[in-house]
Amino acid sequence: MGLFDIFKKKSEPLKSHNLGGCIITKSLYEGSSKLKWMFREEGVNPADNGWRAIGDTDTEEYINIPENNMVVDFDRLVEIEPAVLTVYSMPVGTDLEFRYDENGRYFIDSSTGKRVE
């Protein structure tokens, strides 16, 4: 058993889009929070696509504790919220807020306040 095997979901095989790894909060992974923020920074290595995802209940104090963040395959984030595939190709520096309401599930560009189409 490898170090990261404890984080794998056992229910079904992961669908692979081969989009690299990203960092998400543990609360998002465990389902105790819902996706709220995504931003993209320069990846720390070739396998890191630079995407970071934060849940709606995550505080600054929470995310500043290294154990509350985890590296996962981007496909895991797609399983949590499929809408992330629509923004995957956005450039480094992208900062987004995720919303879900009567208008659907969509991202807002934090710098412009406009809906990402």
Q: Is the pLDDT of residue 76 over 50?
A: yes
For residues 33 and 57, is the Cβ–Cβ distance under 8 A? yes
- Partnered with residue 73 across adjacent β-strands are 21
| Each residue's pLDDT tens digit, 1-47 | 344 444 444 445 556 768 999 999 999 999 999 999 999 999 989 99
* Cα-Cα end-to-end distance for the chain: 42
pTM for this predicted structure: 0.83
Eight-class DSSP state of 33 = S
**Residues 82 and 102: beta-carbon distance below 8 Å:** no
d(CA 116, CA 96): 9
Amino acid of residue 19: L
